[in-house]
A = this chain, B = another copy of it.
């Protein structure tokens, strides 16, 4: 876990067989396709229905993934459970496999938790895993987990575990919130710093060069341009399960090495904004009127011509026939296709 991951990752949707067990074959095939599209694997995320899987099922699936030859430096499994003991078990397994990091939900059953309680929880997890290779990305998704990640919690954790706390995923859906974290914790990289040196508000600090940095991933590609312009690290987005190449294409133009040459160029700016707008058209189909997970799977079922993909595990339900038809029509209307 030395080289940090950046760019586009998909919270990989989990296919199920008729008996609702994870369909390993389709899962591995989907993971390999995502990797071929420059898309990292945030397996066991919210959109993976990971919280509808047992710890044992997640553990077996992770072993299967690595055994299938998937490069662990492209894998960031979700490992946050409600209990310290389970979170530690799954996290330690991910570290042992050499996964590039873990995406960690806060414990999400008890509500109204104190910052002290959350700090103790994460602190206990870090200490119990006790491995210098561990990289934790804190997972902020208040619309689902309700329990969230605050800047003061991150501040305490970064102070105590600067090498382990590697970043966060912000799935609040609120750009203002992402901006607060970016402003508070992102130590600017050499390119951004070099660029700033040319502007009036330079303030470059050589010390930040040695800081490991805090990498902010946005939970939707609709914030990708804004995130990268503000020093973010990429996106971990549901729709990257369908549209990874186009999302990566925008990301690639925004990575720090290219950012300098692009930022003062009006044509380049318009091009970036056009690309972002085209990504948004796809995203909005899913954000607007369908339950996200069922819709993602239905779309894969359509484009792979494989109805098995549409299956979800209760308490989720698949799209109705009516919804499925409407989704297909909408995707056709915007000329969307899986490449």
Contact = CB atoms under 8 A, between A and B. Distances in A.
Contacts of A124: 20, 314
B53 A83 contact: yes
B314 A54 contact: no
Interface string A287-317: 0000000000000000000000000011111
Kindly state the interface size class of chain A when it binds its partner: 35 or more
A85 B57 contact: yes
A121 B86 contact: no
A268 interface: no
Contacts of A184: none
Contact of A317 (B57, B114, B145): B114
Contacts of A116: 317
A106 B54 contact: no
B52 A315 contact: no
A146 interface: yes
Interface in A115-148: 116-118, 120-121, 123-124, 143-147
Nearest to A55: B55
Given A117-B317, A120-B315, A315-B117, A52 B83 contact: yes
A145 B314 contact: no
